[in-house]
Structure 1
Amino acid sequence: MRERLPLWLQDRCEVRPRAVAAVGVVLLAAVGFAGQQYWSARPRAVTAPAVVAPGAVPAAATAPAGAPASGAGAGGAGGVSGAGGVARIVVDVSGKVRDPGVRRLPAGSRVEDALAAAGGVRPGTDTTGLNRARVLVDGEQVVVGAPAQPPPAAGPGGGVGSGPGPGPLSLGSATVAQLDGLPGVGPVLAQHIVDFRTARGGFRSVDELRQVDGIGERRFADLRTLVRP
């Protein structure tokens, strides 16, 4: 059959070794490329990251730069962190206690805790006017056995007078009746002052009286010299 074809066609249909070699190289390259793609796309095992339990990081690693070490500065101002990073307050316990002086207590401590830190109240001391359940604030003074605040003075008509007894009235321990005796303060406003004191854990300064509902600048100006924290 091949011999019957024209010579020019026989020459084109002839399979030469060079052409066979070229086709073989192309096939070999294609097989190699397919194998490389299959190998790179194979499934691989993924290692899960290690789980760090809460609290496993040392405190020194998480402390900000320049911060004092745990327990350092325990003799500083209130609110500093003592051993274990617990916030602390500083209060002055004086009066009829066994060991009066400055005490550093955990934040949120109450008057009862301050008395215990001062060795307890001396026998026979009258603590009727002392609210042992009150939450302490940093920098305050707890006086034990001090004379109770005098009741409001009676006016000429037998009613409550316009001014309190001698000395500034303590916002931290005054009763509703005593606050009612202040000029411009009625029973409703006196109750607001007591409610504010309970919610805030006391008065840090006389200026906080401005935040009580019903006390404006004019009324505060009349009261600021008559009261103390």
Structure 2
Amino acid sequence: MPATDTPPVDAPRTRPHRLRLSIGAAVVLGLVVLSAAVGLGIMRGQAAPSESVPLAGTAASPAPSGDLYVHVLGAVERPGLYVLDLDARLVDAVAAAGGTTDDADLTAVNLARVLSDGEQIVVPVVGAVAETGVPAEGSADGRIDLNTADQAALETLPRIGPALAERIISWREENGRFQSVDDLLAVPGIGEKLLEAIREGAKV
């Protein structure tokens, strides 16, 4: 039987096998590159520092600023309403009111006390009601001092209601201290009969 040229059995299989190997290697290489890129991105995200956003009202914010209003009465030269700094003390309020009068009882007030907004300060005269509302030594007669008493104290006088008490305080703020009980006649609504009714319970 004549011999024929027959190609080797494994020759036609060699090229497809190599082709499949090349495709598989490319897929594996792609997966490796992708995994490396993802891992690098994660590492970068972890290594990146996070920014701190300041919150409103934290300690880094500046302290609030403003003014406080105080009402100064009693044994001062110019009783009235004054606007002071937030860190003001009672001595600052007294100074704003022109200082104290000669008969002021400074032992009855704490000049170093820190003030608060909206408070009323009464500097008493010697023997009158002190700032705290406690009768000072020697004021055991129970009479109301027209120059230092607040509205509640004035209303304890005979026939003095809220309206007249407010008028007495207003007159005191506008005109200064009462020099005598008779000065009440200058307050609108107070006449001779009312004055006589309250004379024994009032003093200056």
TM-score normalised by structure 2 residue count? 0.43
- Whose relative contact order is higher, 1 or 2, with alpha carbons under 8 Å and at least 6 apart? 2
Structure holding more helix per residue:
2
